[in-house]
Amino acid sequence: MVHKKIFEAVLSDLDGERARYFTDIANKLEEDPRAQKSPNLVFLVLRDSARYLPDYLPAKEFVDVLLSFVKANSQTLSRIIYSREFVTDPMATRAVSRKFVSRVLEVILEKHDDGSVQDETFSVHHVTWPYDNVDFPYLDADDDD
């Protein structure tokens, strides 16, 4: 599928286990007939969000959450990709994709709360979207030291 190419640059940036996980996700999306309805939107959301997502949600469940999210947000995403803004900023879809990151984290926390995911399967992830390059510590305007 040509739409998978949207996501390939992100895959090359991921390391070992994460790369395998998201490669599996991308392959499952290529085979899923539901993804064929709007594959460009599906792979754009995946491109925008994969770097920020944990890799322990079962692949089938991840695909289901992604496709449901894209279906619910397809009008907004379509409006963005057919806008002048998207021509000048291909990452304009991040405004919507960050909501997908939140949704995946909600699903994981729900699974944790109902006991279907055990604590030992979790690892530490820092969600910094969209502030990847912000210096820390943050200085307050009151800090004149």
- The pTM score is 0.76
Determine the Cα–Cα distance for residues 84 and 59; give it in Å rounded to an integer: 34
- 23 and 4 Cβ atoms separated by less than 8 Å: no
Determine the Cα–Cα distance for residues 108 and 36; give it in Å rounded to an integer: 26
Task: Write the pLDDT tens digit of every residue in 50-99.
Answer: 999 988 899 999 999 999 999 999 999 999 999 999 899 988 999 999 99
Determine the Cα–Cα distance for residues 77 and 108; give it in Å rounded to an integer: 24
Query: What is the DSSP track for 81-109?
Result: HTSHHHHH-TTTTHHHHHHHHHHHHHHHH
